[in-house]
Amino acid sequence: MKNNRFVIDNINPQESWRIFRIMAEFVDGIEALSKLPPAVTIFGSARSKEGEKYYEMAVKLGERLVTQGYAVITGGGPGIMEAANKGALKAGGPSVGLNIELPFEQKLNPYTDVHLNFRYFFVRKVMFIKYAIGYIIFPGGFGTMDELFEALTLIQTEKVKPFPVVMLGSDYWRGLLDWIDNKMLKENKISPGDRAIIKVTDSIDEVVNILKSVHL
């Protein structure tokens, strides 16, 4: 009992109050995003540069989605996020950036007309998925992989309503998809239905058609 009392008595009071900061981020996110039309969330590398293949594809996709009546949501940073926001804003928006406070790489790009800054990754992730009718995954690094597999897990476990998860760039994703097919699926770590969640394409037209097929 003495040991338990010691632990309780030495809780940092700041920990208890942190819940209000977390609640505030949820409230701000819901108030800002609940007014959007159906939204598509786009992920990809923060290190992509203007003029590169996937950067320019993301610009075109952002523009195309807005002309089709969708809002575009990104992580608000540079690279693919900037490109998608740039295209969306060019087409008249909504162009949404959900920025995260990081010590490097991540600064809010100038192409958003709705933007929020988050301290907590998990709150930001909820906002990405809560208002999305589809995820578009461009080539990227650890952060992109994190968002990809979180979405697949939530759909697989039926914690969210199923929505399209489309990976753009077949050359980039081929190795990962081969491993999923030849290891995870072949060794019965996932089911064929799980594998079917993932779509892969190199075509912006196909991305739009996939979204339209499930959101008429």
Torsion of CA 85, 91, 94, 99, to 10 degrees: 10
The average pLDDT across 184-192 equals 96
CATH number of the domain enclosing 208: 3.40.50.450
Identify the weakest region by mean pLDDT among 135-149, 170-184, 202-216.
202-216
User: What is the reported pLDDT for 202?
Assistant: 97
Strand 71-74, strand 132-137: pairing: unpaired
User: What is the reported pLDDT for 15?
Assistant: 75
Mean pLDDT of the chain: 91
Dist. CA 152–CA 155, nearest whole Å: 5
If one counts the domains in the chain, the total is 1
The angle, 0 to 180 degrees and rounded to 10, between the axes of the packed helices 53-67 and 80-90 is: 40
95 is in which domain, residue-wise? 2-214
pLDDT digits (tens, 9 = 90+) for 190-200: 999 999 999 99
User: What is the reported pLDDT for 213?
Assistant: 87
User: What is the reported pLDDT for 105?
Assistant: 54
User: What is the reported pLDDT for 6?
Assistant: 46
Q: Is the dihedral of CA 205, 43, 81, 78 positive or negative?
A: negative
pLDDT digits (tens, 9 = 90+) for 154-169: 999 999 999 999 999 9
